Amino acid sequence: MKPLPVLCIVIPAYNEEEVLPVTAPLFLAELSSMVEGGLVSDESRIMYVDDGSRDSTWKIVEALAAQDEHFCGIRQSRNRGHQNAVVAGLMEARGFCDIAISADCDGQDDISAMTEMVRRYHEGYDVVYGVRSSRETDTFFKRFTAESYYKLLARMGAEVVYNHADYRLASRRVLDALSSYEEVNLFLRGLFPLVGFPSTEVAYERHERMAGESHYPLSKMLALAFDGITSLSVKPIRAVTGFGLVVSVASFLGVVWAIVSFALGHAVSGWASTTCIVCFVSGVQLVSLGVIGEYVGKTYMETKRRPRYVISDRTRR
Ligand code: UDP
Ligand code: MG
C-alpha cells in the first residue's frame, strides 16, 4: 500500500495575535480528523509563516509549536506581503511534504473544505482550487470590484480561476515546478494555472473574519490587482500603442484642418483650441508613459533577482 501523503497547511500571518489562538485549534482539529480518516499521514504539519509581524504573533507560533508537534513555523526577516509569505511557506513545505494547502489564518476560508481538497488529491488531481460559492459576507463594494476584476483579467487574456483567491491545494510536483518560476512580481493565482497539471475546484463559503481586522486595505488590494494584470498580460502596452496611433491620426487631421483654415484665410485666434490640444496630447502621453514605465519598472525589479523572502527564525519541525 502507498504510504499516506504528508500534508503541510501553510498559513501566512501578519500581526494576527488576536485571531491565531482562535483558529489554531480549528486547523488542528481539521488536520486530526484527516489523519484519523486515513487521508493524510500523522507526520503532517500546520506551518505558520510569520510575515514580519510586530505584535506577539511569532511568540504565539513558538508556543503552539512547543505545545503540539503538528504545529511549526517560519518567520520572515521583515514584512514582505501576503504573496511572498505564501511562497516562502510553500517552498519551505516542499522540503518535507507531498501536498500543501495554503489558507488565510483568519478563518475566512472555510477550514472544513480541506478534507474535500485532500479527497480530490487522492482522486488524482494535483491542484485543487478553493472557489468562493457566495460572497454574501463581503461588502457590495468588495464583491463588485472583485468580480469585475476577474472579468477584466479574463479579457486581458490572463487565465485565472473565477472567484478563487489563495486557498488551494498543490501537490509536490506542482510545488517543484513552481519553484522554477523565479519572478518577484508575484501573483500566485495567475501562476498556478500556468504551471499546469490536472486541476479541479472545491466550492466553499467565505466567512467573516473570526477576530482582528483585515490587513488588506484598499491600497494593497489595488496594488495586488495591478500586479496581477501586469504580471500576466502585456495587453495594456498594446492598448497604449493602439491608443497612441488613434490619437496620432486625430492629431494629423487636426494639423491638416489648421493648415487648410489658415490657407482659406479663416485665421482664427485659436488660443483655446491650441491649449486644449496641447493639454490633451500631453495628458495622453503621460498616461502612456506611465503604463510603459510600469512594465519597465517591473523588468528592472526582475533583473535584480532579489530573493522573494528571507527567513530569520524557525521553530523545530
Ligand atoms: N497577510 C500577510 N502579510 C501581509 C498582509 C496579510 O501574511 O502583509 C496575511 C494575513 O495574516 C492573513 C492573509 O494574509 O492570513 C489574508 O489577509 P487579510 O485577512 O488581512 O486579508 P482579507 O481577507 O481581508 O483580504
Ligand atoms: Mg482575511
Cα gap 127→200, rounded to integer Å:
7
Query: Is the model's pLDDT at 60 over the cut of 90?
Result: yes
pTM higher than the cut 0.85: no
Q: Which atom number of ligand 1 is nearest to the Cα of residue 165?
A: 25
pLDDT score recorded for residue 282: 75
Closest residue (by CA) to atom 3 of ligand 1? 82
Nearest C-alpha neighbor of 59 from the set 108, 15, 91: 15
CATH code for the domain defined by 7-233+306-314: 3.90.550.10
- The domain spans of the chain are 7-233+306-314
Nearest C-alpha neighbor of 89 from the set 49, 129, 131, 140: 49
Top mutation candidate among 49, 50, 56, 106 for ligand 1, by most atoms within 8 Å of CB: 106
Closest residue (by CA) to atom 13 of ligand 1? 104
Determine whether the shortest distance from the Cβ of 166 to ligand 1 is under 6 A.
no
pLDDT score recorded for residue 260: 81
Please give the distance, rounded to the nearest whole angstrom, from the Cα atom of residue 266 to the centre of ligand 1. 64
Cα gap 44→38, rounded to integer Å:
12
Q: Let me know how many helices (H) and strands (E) the chain has, helices first.
A: 10, 8
pLDDT tens digits, one per residue of 121-176: 999 999 999 998 877 777 788 788 888 888 888 888 788 888 888 999 999 999 99
Please give the distance, rounded to the nearest whole angstrom, from the Cα atom of residue 251 to the centre of ligand 1. 47
Please give the distance, rounded to the nearest whole angstrom, from the Cα atom of residue 265 to the centre of ligand 1. 67
Q: Which atom number of ligand 1 is nearest to the Cα of residue 108?
A: 23
pLDDT score recorded for residue 40: 96
Determine whether the shortest distance from the Cβ of 108 to ligand 1 is under 6 A.
yes
pLDDT tens digits, one per residue of 200-240: 999 998 888 888 888 877 888 888 888 888 887 777 877 87
Cell numbers found for residue 161: 480561476
Q: Order of strands across the sheet with 164-171?
A: 199-205, 127-134, 164-171, 99-102, 7-13, 45-50, 71-76, 311-314
pLDDT tens digits, one per residue of 170-183: 999 999 989 988 88
Please give the distance, rounded to the nearest whole angstrom, from the Cα atom of residue 13 to the centre of ligand 1. 7
State which H helix or E strand residue 41 sits in: none
pLDDT score recorded for residue 276: 67
